[in-house]
């Protein structure tokens, strides 16, 4: 049944078109889109209004939380809305997951590698996935464990001490040969004041004697030596000195 448009009597006399049937829609440009939904009813290539999403990290995947319905999307907006982290271009559907971390890079709700201890490091790269204090960025401490997963135990550990080689075994170490460790390695001491680590008789606790050597490591040779003699001036060269002319 066709329903006539309401026409003025004069218009009726001149002829009046009938109204379109219910459910009828117009498509002026013939693109299959109803004119009321067409971005440009006169342009078959104009498309329809759609929802666009911001793509802040420019990876081609948009942020679902900020959809915008428009025919003319702003720059960096896309129709996709499946990005689970729009601040990181390496994270989006289809991305390859990495063993470098325990991050859901392909937005499927899971990570490719387990992180059983919840420390943020994948089991495939840390050395103990049952202990959250053990991972590549952990602080090494003096506890006999390899916390930072570098294959060494207690190296440069928090709470460690610097020891120095004591080659001559006199209890005084060589400043030029330090070792940082939790326990003293064999042949080392905490002291670093030996001036000759090849001679056990030479060290800061030694007695200075007349031998042309700095025995006590004070930087002076034969000063105040224990076996030094007292000499007096002998002005007349008779072999007898004057006790008022103490030389040294």
- Quote the percentage of the chain above a pLDDT of 90: 55
Q: pLDDT tens digit string along 108-118?
A: 988 878 888 99
pLDDT at 5: 39
Q: Are the CB atoms for 117 and 92 separated by under 8 Å?
A: no
Q: How confident is the model at residue 17 (pLDDT cuts 50, 70, 90)?
A: low
Mean pLDDT, to the nearest integer, of 74-100?
Answer: 92
pLDDT at 164: 98
pLDDT at 18: 59
pLDDT at 8: 42
Compute the mean pLDDT over every residue in the chain, rounded to the nearest whole number. 85
More confident residue, 13 or 41: 41
Mean pLDDT, to the nearest integer, of 45-50?
Answer: 74
pLDDT at 10: 44
pLDDT at 44: 72
pTM above the 0.85 mark?
no
DSSP-assigned states of every residue in the chain? -PPBPP--HHHHHH--PBPPPTT----TT-SSS-GGGBS-TT-TTS-B-EEEEE-TT-SS---GGG-EEESSPPTTEES----S-TT-TT-STTPPP-TTS---TTSSSS-SS--TT-SSS-TTTSS-TT-TT-STTPPPBSSSS-TT-SS-SSTT-BT-EEEEE-TT-SS---TTSEEEESSPPTTEES----S-TT-TT-STTSPP-SSSS-TTSSS-SSTT-TTPPP-EE-TT-SS--EEEEE--
pLDDT at 23: 56
Q: pLDDT tens digit string along 164-208?
A: 999 999 999 999 999 999 999 999 999 999 999 999 999 999 999
């Amino acid at each position: 049944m066709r329903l006539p448009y309401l026409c003025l009597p004069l218009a009726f006399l001149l002829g009046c078109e009938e109204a379109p049937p219910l459910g009828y829609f117009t498509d002026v440009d013939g693109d299959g889109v109803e004119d009321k939904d067409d971005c440009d009813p006169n342009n078959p290539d104009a498309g329809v209004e759609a929802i666009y999403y911001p793509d802040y990290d420019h990876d081609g995947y948009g942020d679902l939380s900020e959809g915008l319905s428009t025919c003319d999307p702003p720059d960096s907006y896309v129709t996709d809305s499946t990005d689970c982290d729009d601040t990181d271009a390496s994270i989006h559907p289809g991305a390859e997951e990495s063993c470098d971390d325990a991050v859901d890079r392909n937005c499927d709700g899971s990570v490719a590698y387990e992180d059983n201890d919840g420390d943020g490091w994948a089991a495939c790269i840390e050395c103990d996935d049952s202990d959250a204090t053990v991972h590549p960025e952990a602080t090494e401490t003096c506890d006999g464990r390899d916390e930072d997963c570098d294959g060494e135990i207690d190296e440069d550990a928090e709470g460690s001490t610097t020891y120095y080689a004591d080659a001559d075994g006199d209890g005084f170490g060589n400043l030029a040969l330090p070792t940082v460790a939790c326990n003293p390695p064999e042949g080392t001491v905490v002291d670093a004041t030996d001036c000759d680590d090849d001679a056990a008789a030479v060290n800061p606790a030694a007695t200075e004697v007349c031998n042309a050597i700095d025995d006590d490591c004070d930087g002076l040779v034969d000063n105040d030596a224990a076996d030094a003699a007292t000499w007096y001036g002998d002005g007349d060269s008779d072999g007898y000195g004057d006790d008022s002319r103490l030389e040294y």
